[in-house]
Structures are given as structure tokens and as C-alpha cells.
Amino acid sequence: PSSGLWHTLRHLDTVVTSAEAKGPNIVGFTSTISEEGKTTIAGNFAVMKARAGKKVLLIDADPYRKSLSHLLVSAVDEKEKPELANGADADIASLIEKDQTAGFAFLRLGDQSDMDVTTQLFWSETMPKLSAVFKDYDLVIFDLPPLVALGDLQNAAQVVDKFILIVDWGKLTGVMLQTAMVMNPTVHEKIAGVVLNRADRSRMKKVFSPFAALLGKQSLLVGAK
């Protein structure tokens, strides 16, 4: 609760959670390019919401890296672990696992060699069956590919209510970000917030002062008399 990430996740919660939603809140975490930290932030958001008593389903929807699937270690034997692969005929509910420590449910992608089959089936064949189980949860979180995967993001925009864009400090230019938005107009319309990840705090004071100076005081909230 004293970390900047915790306060960021709390802030995210206010922009993606809708009390008026008739079904679960469906949120997608993405970035412009790979390795900007979207998987880590999506996972931490799932942990925070689950610990608050919400029913959370975390889904690995990035077939290019499967970072989330590699992070989520199951108690099930490696050879028998359930995975959301190219099984259009699979019983989706049986593939959902539970993280006993954090309390959220999750779905992993299988290690399929045929990338085209995996991606096509995920959004066309598997998604209707997957959507049927959403009603059992308060929050559904997709760890999505980056915006450069245009086809995947356009498909995701038909399912996801709101997107969170992760931007790694110093990795992109403003022109690159602007171009990514132009290339993904349906995603752009649904972006609820942007997280500036791995920010250089010393440089933030120069670039974003006085905002950075105030944010730096968040750590003082815990233990304050």
C-alpha cells in the first residue's frame, strides 16, 4: 500500500470499474510494442481486485509471447496442466485454474506451433464459448498483444469494454504513440487510461513538475500520524 504501483492500480480501478455495468467489467491491457510491462501490471491488477473480494478471471490473450502463461505456475503436473490452445471443442470451464494465494482465476494459452490456427481460433471459435463463462465473474482481464498486432486488437475491441495502455518510459516517441492510435481507432476510442511504466523519477520531477512532486508524496500516506 505504500508503493507507487499500488496507488496507480487504485487509480486504474476508478476508471475501468463501472457500477452500472450489467455484466462483468471486461478490461484489456496492451502496449504499443513488446516488453513495456503490460503483463506485470495486468497481473498485479488482478491480484489487487481479487484480494478486495472480487471474482476475477485473468486471461492470457497474447499468443506471440505467452508471458502470462509462463508466469502462472500451476500445482497441476506440467504434462496435465489445462491450457487454452486451439481447442475449439474444449470445455472452457474445465480449463480455468485458480491461484490459491491471490484468489483469482486464470486461463493459459497452449504452446501451439501453428500461430495462425491459434490466433484465428481464439477470436472466432473459442471466444463465444469463453464469453459464456464471463457471467460468473465481476472482472475479466485480458493480457493482450501490443498495438502493432493490428488484427488481434481489432478483434479484442469487439469484446473488451475498456483498454489500459502501458507505455514504457523512454522507449517510444510521441510520433510512434500517435501513429499507434491512428492505426487502432476502435481501440483508441476505448482507452480508459495510460500507465507510464518504469518512469525515471529524477527526470519526472523536471518533465512533470509539480505533478511528480505531489505523486512522490504518496509513500508518506502509510504510517502517517
Q: Would you say residue 33 has pLDDT above 80?
A: yes
The mean pLDDT of 129-133, rounded to a whole number, is 88
> What is the predicted pLDDT for the residue at 221?
72
CA 43/CA 104 separation, integer angstroms: 10
Q: Would you say residue 61 has pLDDT above 60?
A: yes
The mean pLDDT of 61-81, rounded to a whole number, is 72
Question: What is the side-by-side order of every strand in the sheet holding 191-197?
Answer: 97-98, 105-107, 56-60, 139-143, 25-31, 162-168, 191-197
> What is the predicted pLDDT for the residue at 55?
96
Q: What pairs with residue 139 in β-bridges?
A: 25, 56
Please give the full DSSP string across 117-186, using - where no structure is assigned.
HHHHHIIIIIHHHHHTTGGG-SEEEEEPPPTT-HHHHHHHTTT-SEEEEEEETTTS-HHHHHHHHHH-HH
What are the Cα distances from residue 178, in Å, to 29, 33, 101, 175, 188? Answer: 18, 13, 39, 5, 10
> What is the predicted pLDDT for the residue at 86?
46
> What is the predicted pLDDT for the residue at 34?
93
pLDDT tens, position by position, 133-189 = 999 999 999 999 999 999 999 999 999 999 999 999 989 899 999 999 999 999 999
Which residues, including other chains, have CB under 8 Å from residue 119's CB and lie 6 or more apart? 63, 151, 152
Backbone CA torsion sign across 44, 49, 51, 55: negative
Could you tell me which of 199, 220, 209, 221 has the C-alpha nearest to residue 37? 199
> What is the predicted pLDDT for the residue at 91?
78
> What is the predicted pLDDT for the residue at 77?
47
Place of cell 518533465: 207
The mean pLDDT of 94-104, rounded to a whole number, is 88
> What is the predicted pLDDT for the residue at 225?
45
What average pLDDT does the structure give for the chain?
84
Residue type for 18, please? S
CA 59/CA 140 separation, integer angstroms: 8
pTM of the model: 0.86
